[in-house]
Amino acid sequence: MSHDPDEFGTPGPSPSREGVGPAGRFSATEIGSSRTAPRLGNALTPPVLDCRTATQFTRHITSELEEQTRLALERYVGDIGADEVVDMARNLAQMRGRYLAQALAVGTNRQPPAREEIEELKGMREQIDELDLAFRAIRDAIAAEQVAVREIAAPQPLSARDPVLRHRPL
């Protein structure tokens, strides 16, 4: 199977069917997947995990996902302003209002709706759905304290809030 390197020098799959794996798919290595084990020298070695059960492994990958999410949020989002979240909520509400007004206008017309009107409604609905999902993700990240809001005080540790724990010797 011939592999022509792409613009980054990474070999890509050949357009021919030669060497295609089961069910007509290329292997992960052939398509440049990151799902290959890390290399030490020429030997492939699995990642070192201290997991003896499936439950331990699922806890490990959940913890890893949380840590990687935290790092990505720090890198790409940082802290956000309360005004940004409020503006997003207002925009979402405005979009919902315009959608309902348009739906009523189309739905109460004596004529069947034109294809263009239906397409416009569909596009508006898709925009609302996408913005709603994004808004929920931001709200959930704030609630989980994954993202800080500049104008909101950081939560105090439990020991500072609980008088019993506050006076308990370590």
What's the mean per-residue pLDDT of the chain? 76
126 phi/psi in degrees, rounded to 5: -65, -40
Q: Which helix (H) or strand (E) holds 33?
A: none
Per residue in 126-158, pLDDT (tens digit) is 999 999 999 999 999 999 888 999 988 766 665
Task: DSSP letter for 22, please.
Answer: G
How many helices and strands, by DSSP H and E, does the chain display? Answer: 5, 2
* pLDDT at residue number 164: 60
**Whole-model pTM?**
0.58
More confident residue, 28 or 51: 51
More confident residue, 78 or 5: 78
43 phi/psi in degrees, rounded to 5: -95, 140
Per residue in 37-61, pLDDT (tens digit) is 444 444 555 555 677 888 989 999 9
Banded pLDDT at 161 (limits 50, 70, 90): low
pLDDT at 14 over 70: no
